[in-house]
């Protein structure tokens, strides 16, 4: 076993926003190994919006609320996606049934980066890490999300906190 710490967050909306909004869930994992610390970031979808890192800031600006009105504008989102068809794959995950995880404990995780691992023989292999929750994957559908979000906008964080406090520690298998 390797000691680690994990931070979960929504990607598009600011801290304190309802956790039932259709929004990719991000996470950061810091592994504390004998060889040093290793950081890994990911989200709950197996694909990412863009392949070219130079497009990332434009994607963020398209998805974030307007800085003047603080309102998210659908035309900005659709404008970005219409000019970057490779984004449609992740967009389809966002609006699929997996778009709103029940909570963080029932959420899959997928590393954003692809790594090149080299074995002792010098053979390189491309690797993308995946986390699978041992308690299974569960999501909310639209009507359920409205009810849950209206009852407690921090339901996923509360579920995680309460589970840990009760000694029911979440667990994921890393592949």
pLDDT at 3: 92
Highest mean pLDDT among 40-54, 63-77, 86-100, 131-145: 131-145
**Residue 91: pLDDT band by 50, 70, 90 thresholds?**
confident
Q: In what order do the strands lie in the sheet with 130-133?
A: 4-10, 25-33, 36-43, 109-111, 130-133, 172-174
| Mean pLDDT, rounded, for 26-30 | 93
Say whether pLDDT at 163 is over 90.
Answer: yes
- The predicted pLDDT at position 95 comes to 86
> Positive or negative CA dihedral for 89, 56, 103, 29?
positive
| pTM of structure | 0.86
User: According to the model, what pLDDT value does residue 50 have?
Assistant: 86
Q: What is the pLDDT of residue 124?
A: 97
Percent of the chain with pLDDT over 90: 63
What number is the average pLDDT over the span 67-83? 90
Give 106's contacts (C-beta < 8 A, 6+ positions apart): 133, 135, 136, 137, 138, 139
Q: Is the pLDDT of residue 17 over 90?
A: no
């Amino acid at each position: 076993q390797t000691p680690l710490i994990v931070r979960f967050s929504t990607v598009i909306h600011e801290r304190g926003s309802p956790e039932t909004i259709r929004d990719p869930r991000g996470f950061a994992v810091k592994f504390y190994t004998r060889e040093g610390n290793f950081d890994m970031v990911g989200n709950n979808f197996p694909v990412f919006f863009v392949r070219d890192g130079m497009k990332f800031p434009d994607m963020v600006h398209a998805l974030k609320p307007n800085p003047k009105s603080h309102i998210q504008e659908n035309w900005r989102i659709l404008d970005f996606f219409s000019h970057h068809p490779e984004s449609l794959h992740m967009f389809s995950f966002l609006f699929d049934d997996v778009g709103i995880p029940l909570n963080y404990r029932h959420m899959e995780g997928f590393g954003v980066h692809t790594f090149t691992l080299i074995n002792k023989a010098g053979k390189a292999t491309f690797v993308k890490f995946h986390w699978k929750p041992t308690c299974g994957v569960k999501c909310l559908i639209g009507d359920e999300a409205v009810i849950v979000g209206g009852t407690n906008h921090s339901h996923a964080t509360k579920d995680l906190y309460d589970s840990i406090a009760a000694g029911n520690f979440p667990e994921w298998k890393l592949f």
